[in-house]
Amino acid sequence: MSIALVILAAGKGTRMKSDLPKVLHPIAQAPMLVHAMRAGAALNPERIVVVAGHGAEAVAHAARQADERAVVAIQAEQKGTAHAVAQARPALKGFSGDAVVLYGDTPFLQPETLQRMLAARNDHDLVVLGFRAGDPGRYGRLVMRDEALERIVEYKDATEIERAITLCNSGLMACDATTLFSLIDAVGRDNAAGEYYLTDIVALARGRGLSVTAVTCDEAETLGVNSRAELAAAEAAFQARARADLLGAGVTLTAPETVYLAFDTVIGRDAVIEPNVVFGPDVTVESGATIRAFSHLEGAHVSRGAVVGPFARLRPGAELADNSRVGNFVEIKNARIDEGAKVSHLSYIGDASIGAGSNIGAGTITCNYDGVMKHRTTIGARAFIGSNTMLVAPVSVGEDAMTASGSVITRDVQSQALAVARARQENKPGRARKLFELLKARKAKRDRGQE
């Protein structure tokens, strides 16, 4: 069966007190919209339609970054959820299959839940996702009779008896696309808010003799985000679950509550993550690697047996091979550190290749940027780079070569060569004492002038 996703993302999110569209507020360093799209991606959809309104250009950019196939439909005026879904009709012209309606501010939906909704579609024309709420509050209520869903009633339109129902509406639905739009065409706005409710299609479907049911999920999956406080709670919920998943998969987190993971962090079993480590997007840490305390990783790949940190920063394009070492106060960017190579402390390695078994001394910098363009440094296997070496790219150092400490390397160094590139030292007898006396006199004169 072909699947189309219709993701509603037009709301401004007034309670967020923000110029940023609500669905673009991040959880685990990805917009909420991206989380919803990732859940829907498990259905292998043929089409993806994101309905945007407030901040549509920014929403469209985020959607297409997440999936280049995404088509953006505009809801210029927010007239309710049925009206929002109706805006997707042109983008689904010629589509034959099921439409699944998702919400861009519901980031915790699990792919397995969507699969169960589609499974229920084998026996029913319309499937709604519901949940049992500990505190139903102002959620819409699902009115069931056995397995049949009779109607959904909004809280503001519900009777006292209906408000006592704890089975609540998540807003998600699955239905044949042609049937869905036919039902939406019949939706009116005779309700307390004067809006076109998507929930009204349940009663309309039953009036046409169609079969309607509800599938339930855990309440946590339906958590919506409407305020900064709820955003913080959602972030905490994501982190707690992600940490638990890693621990269950055989990863050691020595202080789990201090480790912050991105939405796509991948860590292999027997890896060790020490306290206060932050993972940005697109990081893979292989089995047996160690990430020491207070390190920050983004866009990096750390291979087996490698050790990072403490206090290290891996930026996008950092590639650490097996058993390599990146130590304290080292920054790696767009660079490969080959097997067994060491960059132990106080260095910046950017746009570079470091050969296997090489040792990079403290204070080494690859000078990769000339103010306009980036240039590359290549260091061969088993090279020894002396402390405080400046490697002015583009430049290469051959295998088994060495640079003297304090050198500024501007030309290629051949294999097995020693490069010395520093000014000759001169010692001036007695000049230190005379210089100090001169400086003290100047300071005293300056201080007297300020009295």
Q: Catalytic positions, please?
A: 345
Helix axes 32-41, 56-66, angle to 10 degrees: 40
Distance CA 295, CA 310 (A): 6
State whether the Cα torsion 424-428-433-435 is positive or negative.
negative
3-state secondary structure of 279: strand
Q: Report the SS3 class of residue 378.
A: strand
Please count the residues of the chain. 451
Whether residue 24 contacts residue 32, with contact meaning beta carbons closer than 8 Å, is answered with yes
Cα separation of 97 and 92, whole Å? 10
Whether the Cβ atoms of residue 412 and residue 433 lie closer than 8 Å to each other: no
Strands (E), 286-383: 290-291, 296-297, 300-302, 307-308, 313-314, 318-320, 325-328, 331-337, 342-345, 348-354, 359-360, 365-367, 377-379
Give the separation between CA 407 and CA 420, rounded to whole angstroms: 6
Q: What is the Cα 141 distance to its own chain's centre?
A: 33
SS (H, E, C) 59-123: HHHHHHHHCCCCEEEECCCCCCHHHHHHCCCHHHCCCCCEEEEEECCCCCCCHHHHHHHHHHCCC
Query: Which of 181, 128, 125 minimizes the C-alpha distance to 151?
Result: 128
R_g of the chain, CA atoms, integer Å = 30
Cα-based angle 127, 128, 134 (whole degrees, multiple of 5): 145
Exposure string of 387-413, with b = 16+ CB inside 10 Å and e = fewer, is bbbbbbbebbbbbbbbbbebbbbeeeb
Rounded (10°) CA dihedral 408, 412, 415, 421? -20
Give me 240's structure tokens.
């707690």
Strands 418-419 and 266-267: unpaired
**Per-position DSSP letters for 346-357, written without gaps between them:** S-EEEEEEE-TT
Torsion angle of C-alpha atoms 111, 50, 105, 60, degrees rounded to 10 = 120
